[in-house]
Amino acid sequence: MSDLSLILTAVGSIFLLLFLVMKVRLHAVVALILVSMIAGLSSGMSPETITKTIEKGMAGTLGFVAVVVALGAMFGKVMEETGALDRIAHTLLHRFGDKNANWALTFTGFICALPLFFDVAVVLLIGIAFAVVRKGGGSVIKIGIGLLAGIASCQAFLIPAPGPILVASELGADYGYMILFGLLAGIPAMLLGGPIWGSFISKSIHVELPEHAQTDNDTRAGVGIPSFALALGLIALPLIMISLNTLGGRFVQSDSSIAHWLAFIGHPFTAILTACLMAFYLLGVKRGVPNNRIMEICGSALQPAGVIILVTGAGGVFKQVLIDSGVGDALGNYLAGSGLPIVILAFVLAAAVRVIQGSATVAMLTACGLITPMLAPLGLSGAQLAAITIAIGGGSIVLSHVNDSGFWLASRYLGLTEMQTLKTWTVMETIIGTCGAIVAILISLFL
């Protein structure tokens, strides 16, 4: 098929998916897999290849997401049921006030998401947002969007967040400038997309606290409420473990035994499992909560987690079909001859791949691969390459929709319909990405 035909097939598939989910009200898992098959056939893939791609997409996504979401859900539920998250929420509200709680959550997400993948950060921190809503009675939209904006901005622009550091490494960008430009782009982007946009859109969209986030005080485990230090320490534990790997890797040889142990200790699987076990003991066993009660709490956490896992996996199927069908390569070939300035082209490429494929990380790396051959004859400095990296990060998160796992995480965790998610989450992501790109363009004018 021609490049234009592949692009049109992808665009048509996205519109079909939106129609099935939002108008026909077909379940997201069924709609995603059905449209994946239709997109594969329409792009010329053989039936045998399509089935293998579906299996590859599901397995590749769930291999990481299933473990992280399941362990994170149990950890968060134990923290919630034992009052640990309520303690954090109470302290935040006391120090920042009810009116500024969304600002506090935005900066919390921005800082804590540094060493994490997006899905891990959401799973670990979303419970704090729910606890703040329960304690302060604020809007789920206002508080939730504030937290998500902080996480998303960090993941798009700051190193050592996984996406930006991978692109910076591939392009040869200067890490010092990456930190500076990441802050210059990320802070205004998260404030516009989080507290400011969240406060505005929460006036017209209201949702109740999701059922899975409501705690029945009569069934709360434990005696008394944990201290703020203990509650915050348990939240910080997996962040510290993952940070050790990120930071330690800079000072040890990559093939040494120390590096291997740091990679093991700092892997999200190990970090969240350790946090779970510490929570079971410090919030449960040590405080007299029966083991069977802890297991009941864990069991109740897995039901909503299962829905999130399946929808995310189905989104991975759609993404994989679009990747294997050659849409990304077709798009790069089409835009490469447009004559746009290199920073704007980087943003446009990442944004186009993001819209078609869904994954921010895939959009970053695909745009990086497409633009690298164009950089060689330009002789750009490390600072200029850092600005291009920021532009790619901005493009990689705009216009999030139904083929993005983040879209479904926001939808299911906050209890939003698909249309409400488009009006809140999608606009938030677009504000953040566009703001970051504008900052990158302005920086490039002075380099």
What's the average model confidence in pLDDT over 43-68? Answer: 83
pLDDT at 206 over 70: yes
User: Considering the domain boundaries, does residue 171 fall inside one?
Assistant: no
Q: Are 309 and 69 in contact (CB under 8 A)?
A: yes
What's the average model confidence in pLDDT over 391-420? Answer: 85
Q: What is the pLDDT of residues 372-397, one digit of tens each?
A: 767 766 777 778 888 999 999 999 88
> Is the domain of 381 the same as that of 432?
yes
At residue 187, the pLDDT reads 94
Q: Are 375 and 385 in contact (CB under 8 A)?
A: yes
Kindly list the distances between the CA atom of residue 443 and the CA atoms of 89, 343, 386, 436, in Å, as whole numbers in the listed order.
38, 10, 10, 11
Lowest mean pLDDT among 226-235, 241-250, 425-434: 241-250
What is the rounded distance in angstroms from the CA atom of residue 293 to the CA atom of residue 313?
Answer: 30
At residue 217, the pLDDT reads 46
> Is the domain of 404 the same as that of 326?
yes
pLDDT at 94 over 80: no
With tokens 């790109």, the residue in question is 437
Q: Are 86 and 92 in contact (CB under 8 A)?
A: no
At residue 70, the pLDDT reads 82
> Is the domain of 317 the same as that of 385?
yes
Structure tokens at 9: 């097939």
HSE-up of 274 (CA within 13 Å, CB side)? 18
Looking at this protein, which amino acid is placed at residue 367? A
What is the rounded distance in angstroms from the CA atom of residue 424 to the CA atom of residue 232?
Answer: 29
> Is the domain of 440 the same as that of 295?
no
> Is the domain of 235 the same as that of 375?
no
pLDDT tier at 174 (50, 70, 90 boundaries)? confident
At residue 414, the pLDDT reads 85
What's the average model confidence in pLDDT over 108-132? Answer: 75
> Is the domain of 284 the same as that of 328?
no
CB-based contacts of 97, cutoff 8 Å, min separation 6: none
User: Considering the domain boundaries, does residue 176 fall inside one?
Assistant: no
At residue 189, the pLDDT reads 95
Question: Which of 304, 334, 367 is the endpoint of a domain?
Answer: 304
User: Considering the domain boundaries, does residue 87 fall inside one?
Assistant: yes
> Is the domain of 47 the same as that of 84?
no
At residue 114, the pLDDT reads 65
> Is the domain of 17 the same as that of 119?
no
Count of Cβ atoms closer than 10 Å to residue 304 Cβ: 18
pLDDT at 364 over 60: yes
HSE-up of 61 (CA within 13 Å, CB side)? 28
Structure tokens at 395: 């493009």
User: Considering the domain boundaries, does residue 385 fall inside one?
Assistant: yes
User: Considering the domain boundaries, does residue 189 fall inside one?
Assistant: no
Query: Among 377, 334, 402, 367, which Cα is nearest to 3's?
Result: 334
User: Considering the domain boundaries, does residue 222 fall inside one?
Assistant: yes
At residue 398, the pLDDT reads 92
> Is the domain of 410 the same as that of 392?
yes
pLDDT tier at 218 (50, 70, 90 boundaries)? very low
Task: Please report, rounded to a whole number, the percentage of residues in the chain having pLDDT higher than 70.
Answer: 85
Domain count, the chain: 2
For the four alpha carbons of 215, 216, 217 and 219, in that order, the dihedral sign comes to negative
Question: Which of 266, 285, 304 is the endpoint of a domain?
Answer: 304
> Is the domain of 336 the same as that of 425?
yes
Question: Which of 260, 280, 304 is the endpoint of a domain?
Answer: 304
> Is the domain of 275 the same as that of 132?
yes
Structure tokens at 86: 């309520």
Residue by residue, what is the 3-state secondary structure of 374-392?
A: HHHHHCCCHHHHHHHHHHH
At residue 172, the pLDDT reads 80
Question: Does this model's pTM top 0.85?
Answer: no
User: Considering the domain boundaries, does residue 173 fall inside one?
Assistant: no
Looking at this protein, which amino acid is placed at residue 396? S
At residue 211, the pLDDT reads 66
Number of H helices, E strands in the chain: 21, 0
User: Considering the domain boundaries, does residue 210 fall inside one?
Assistant: no
pLDDT at 219 over 50: no
At residue 173, the pLDDT reads 82
Q: Which domain holds residue 235?
A: 63-153+217-304
> Is the domain of 125 the same as that of 237?
yes
Count of Cβ atoms closer than 10 Å to residue 175 Cβ: 16
Q: How far is CA 129 from the centre of its chain?
A: 16
Length of the chain equals 447
What is the rounded distance in angstroms from the CA atom of residue 135 to the CA atom of residue 426?
Answer: 27
